[in-house]
Homo-oligomer: A and B are copies of this chain.
């Protein structure tokens, strides 16, 4: 499907369920996509960091993306991460994603190597010209170890290279400055509505800051890419709807509930476990407990949550009014 208006709303980064031997579990992934679409989300982001893209082989990436596209079946657009170190490698992923039916692409700045804004600009321009799909810049310094400069993003927005920004930088002040430079919250909302009517793509700002979505929407962001939206997509949709209705106190109340639920990422880390692994493991454990996916394993070499930790995840679900199957 075409992104015929600026992408907005709740666009969860879709977890990639694995079976016990580490293969992509397409049956579980099918249920997860249905769970998300049923929750009312506005789009799906496959092959993002929360999808464990960095752990998936090219074949696994293809399997995961094709499954998401097939199950989404045009009900919502599917964004696909094209995540690799530099341009030529990213372009190969981008072509594969286009072949698999993605509606848009998401790419970071070069990583592993040190880079420079001029190089980053060239990087995005070449990806955009190589594959004819809307392109989102993915600003995630915790993985890429550089921050996309605001002036660079603005330039690439204005010249049409970028269709949007997925901001996982945590720099809310910088994001606010960008939004103001792009016209401000009110003007952007009006433009989004007009653009949507006209079928024009516009420029979309999606925040990855899943604990402050109400704030980001107040500031003028178009949507959110929440990892824990895998677990409770409908709650993020409620925040989004409240925000669009100007019901900010309600949006904040819903956000607080999700902040509390988010504490399930703290059940780890086990003593011998990385922080990232424990968060992904907790999301997957929650999805397993809710009956959405069959196996909670994260990809090797991540360490798995202990049963005790999973029991704590179950408690956090119950505290948030979600009912584990066991």
Seen from chain A, the residues whose Cβ lies within 8 Å of a Cβ on chain B are 22, 49, 54-58, 60, 83, 85-89, 92, 110-120, 122-123, 126, 142-145, 170-173, 176-177, 180, 184-186, 209-212, 214-216, 218-220, 246, 248-249, 252-253, 255-256, 259-260, 262-263, 269, 272-277, 299-303
Contact = CB atoms under 8 A, between A and B. Distances in A.
Contact of A142 (B114, B144, B177, B209): B114
Contacts of A256: 180, 184-185
A27 to B, nearest CB: 21
Contacts of A55: 85-89, 113
Contacts of A22: 88
B111 A112 contact: yes
A258 B216 CA distance: 17
A224 B246 CA distance: 23
Nearest to A120: B301
Contacts of A119: 274, 277, 301-303
A110 to B, nearest CB: 7
Contacts of A275: 114, 116
A248 B211 contact: no
19 contacts: A54-B110, A54-B112, A55-B113, A57-B92, A111-B111, A114-B274, A118-B272, A118-B274, A118-B303, A119-B277, A122-B300, A170-B170, A172-B209, A173-B211, A176-B259, A177-B211, A180-B260, A214-B215, A219-B255
Contacts of A60: 88
Contacts of A211: 172-173, 176-177
A270 B275 CA distance: 22
B54 A180 contact: no
Given A114-B276, A119-B277, A214-B219, 5 more contacts: A54-B85, A112-B143, A119-B302, A215-B215, A218-B218
